[in-house]
A = this chain, B = another copy of it.
Amino acid sequence: MKILIIGGAGMVGQKLASQIATSGLSNGLSSSPVSELILHDVVESAVPAAPFPVKTLVGNIADPRQATELAALRADLIFHLAAIVSGEAEQDFAKGWDINARGTWWLLEALRDEYEASGRSYVPRLVFTSSIAVFGGPFPDRIDDEFLTAPQTSYGAQKAMTELLINDYSRKGFIDGISIRLPTICVRPGKPNLAASSFFSSIIREPLNGREAILPVSDSVRHWHASPRSAIGFLIHAAQLDTALLGSRRALNMPGVSCTVAEQIEALRQVAGADAVALIRREPDAAIMKIVENWPRNFAPQRALDLGFTAETGFEEIIRIYIADDKPGR
């Protein structure tokens, strides 16, 4: 099986590549042999040691020629993770729509061309990382699998649009697609990024590493989280899922942990004590508060659970996964 990861240099792409290099596509239930892994991104991707060839490609999917080149690889399995984050898509309207929506459309069109050129035999599995940003308030207490997608950011609209395209190209048989709506991935390793959600990770990661963190919203803000390890699990599971089970709805809300910032902080106290908590500095930011106000807080992701997707059961577990997988000097 030839695997292509678009967005292979990013945090999720790198973890996914390492996991595939180490364990193939095993999800604990089944496992497919991997013959080749190709990592594509706008920058050169780091290459994990693997028992099969790993190649890298550099390019921008906003360029339609990239789509043609990527489709011509005829990968059996494509993970499409490439996106600019919510904050940047909100600041640069044209860039967001170019990369997060038009770029994927080019790719789908190029895959449809390969399907036709192959005598309608080439139909890759496409796993797309969508986001809970496809939802906009007002919200019910828990968002179920039939709640409308009414995004209130360009990023969310771009993800929702891509889901529609993937659904229709799949319905027509050109690809075999699935869109998984990731919770906010927490605790992200590395540095804060331009995503407005960045602080959800910072207030845990920075204190755990002895550094101060800024909390720009109130303690009562509730949100939906899953660990990077869960994100990789979702992707691997989606790659091997029997998509006939999805019926005509190929976008799924992923499981996660719903908790308040206060509960995040309490979990940090349980894991790392009062000294760590003391490093969180409250500095309310009206702009971030306004964005976060419109974010989903809780889900009832019944379809995904029924299909075997799993995540953490509490925020302490999420912190312990960060410490085990990503904390510098672990």
Contact = CB atoms under 8 A, between A and B. Distances in A.
A157 B152 CA distance: 19
B164 A248 contact: no
Contact of A165 (B149, B161, B172, B294): B161
A141 to B, nearest CB: 13
B164 A157 contact: yes
A195 interface: no
A160 interface: yes
Contacts of A249: 136, 148, 150
A280 to B, nearest CB: 31
Nearest to A155: B168
Using C-beta atoms within 8 Å of the partner chain, give the interface range for chain A.
20 to 34
B154 A172 contact: yes
A208 to B, nearest CB: 36
Interface in A111-159: 136-137, 140, 145-152, 154, 157
A227 interface: no
Of A140, A146, A165, A167, the most chain B CB neighbours within 10 A belong to A146
A275 B164 CA distance: 46
B136 A151 contact: no
Of A148, A160, A161, A164, the most chain B CB neighbours within 10 A belong to A164
A171 interface: yes
Given A146-B147, A154-B172, A168-B151, A248 B136 contact: yes
A52 interface: no
A168 B157 contact: yes
Contact of A157 (B150, B157, B165): B165
Contacts of A160: 164
Interface string A249-270: 1000000000000000000000
Of A140, A145, A167, the most chain B CB neighbours within 10 A belong to A167
Given A157-B165, A161-B165, A164-B157, A93 B152 contact: no
Given A149-B149, A157-B164, 8 more contacts: A145-B148, A146-B148, A148-B149, A148-B249, A150-B248, A151-B167, A152-B248, A248-B294
20 contacts: A136-B249, A146-B147, A146-B148, A148-B249, A149-B149, A150-B167, A150-B249, A151-B164, A151-B168, A152-B171, A152-B248, A154-B168, A154-B172, A157-B164, A157-B165, A157-B167, A160-B164, A161-B161, A161-B164, A248-B294
